[in-house]
Amino acid sequence: MDPEDAGKLAGSDDRESSFQSLHPCEHLITVVQDLSLVRDLQGIMQIVARAARELSGADGASFVLRDGDLCYYAQENAISPLWQGRRFPMSACVSGWVMLNRVPAVIDDIALDPRVPVDAYRPTFVRSLAMVPIRARAPLGALGAYWGVTREITAREVALLQALAGSAAVALENVALKDGLEKGQAWAREIEAANRELAERHQAMEELQRQNEALSELLAHDLRSPAAGIMLAAQARLQRRDLPEPDRRRWSVVLSSAEVIQRTALNLLDVTSHQHRMSALRLAELDPASLFECVAQILEPIAASRDQRVELRPCVPGCRVRADEDLLRRVLLNLVDNALRHSPARGAVHLEARGLDPAWVEITVCDEGPGIPVHLRDYIFDRYARLADGGALSSTGRGLGLTFCRMAIEAHGGTIEVRDNEGRGSRFCMRLPAA
Residue-wise pLDDT tens digits, 280-296: 788 999 999 999 999 99
Q: Looking at the predicted structure, is the pLDDT value of residue 358 above 50?
A: yes
Please classify residue 429 by burial: count the beta carbons closer than 10 Å to its beta carbon, then call 0-12 exposed, 13-18 middle and 19+ buried. Answer: middle
Phi, psi (5° rounding) for residue 294? -65, -45
pLDDT of residue 395: 43
The side-by-side arrangement of strands in the sheet containing 128-134 is: 87-89, 70-78, 60-67, 141-147, 128-134, 105-107
What CATH number belongs to 3-182? 3.30.450.40
297 near 310, Cβ under 8 Å? Answer: no
Which tens digits make up the pLDDT trace of 119-148?
Answer: 999 999 999 999 999 998 899 999 999 999
pLDDT of residue 271: 72
* CA–CA gap between residue 227 and residue 155 (Å, rounded): 103
Query: Which of 34-38, 268-272, 404-408 has the least mean pLDDT?
Result: 268-272
Query: Which of 23-37, 72-86, 358-372 has the least mean pLDDT?
Result: 23-37
Query: Which of 18-32, 85-99, 227-241, 291-305 has the least mean pLDDT?
Result: 18-32
pLDDT of residue 6: 43
Q: How confident is the model at residue 8 (pLDDT cuts 50, 70, 90)?
A: very low
Axis crossing angle, helix 3-14 with helix 24-37, rounded to the nearest 10: 160
Work out the average pLDDT over 252-257.
79
Work out the average pLDDT over 235-249.
83
Q: How confident is the model at residue 250 (pLDDT cuts 50, 70, 90)?
A: confident
The string over 113-127, giving b where at least 16 C-beta atoms fall within 10 Å of a residue's C-beta and e elsewhere, is eeebeeebbeebbbb
pLDDT-above-70 percentage for the chain:
84
147 near 129, Cβ under 8 Å? Answer: yes
Work out the average pLDDT over 211-240.
67
Domain spans of the chain, in order of start = 3-182, 283-433
How is residue 372 annotated by DSSP? -
* CA–CA gap between residue 227 and residue 250 (Å, rounded): 16
In sequence order, what are the residues at sequence separation of 6 or more whose Cβ sits closer than 8 angstroms to the Cβ of residue 348? 308, 309, 310, 311, 368
Average pLDDT score, the chain = 84
What global pTM score does this model have? 0.47
- Most confident residue range from 17-31, 217-231, 279-293: 279-293
Domains 3-182 and 283-433 alike in fold:
no
pLDDT of residue 222: 58
- Most confident residue range from 178-192, 209-223, 269-283, 339-353: 339-353
Q: Tell me which of 1.20.1440.230, 2.40.128.720, 3.30.565.10, 3.40.1440.60 is the CATH number of domain 283-433.
A: 3.30.565.10
* CA–CA gap between residue 242 and residue 225 (Å, rounded): 29
Radius of gyration, alpha carbons of the chain: 43
* CA–CA gap between residue 403 and residue 395 (Å, rounded): 13
In sequence order, what are the residues at sequence separation of 6 or more whose Cβ sits closer than 8 angstroms to the Cβ of residue 307? 345, 346
Q: Looking at the predicted structure, is the pLDDT value of residue 180 above 80?
A: no
pLDDT of residue 132: 96
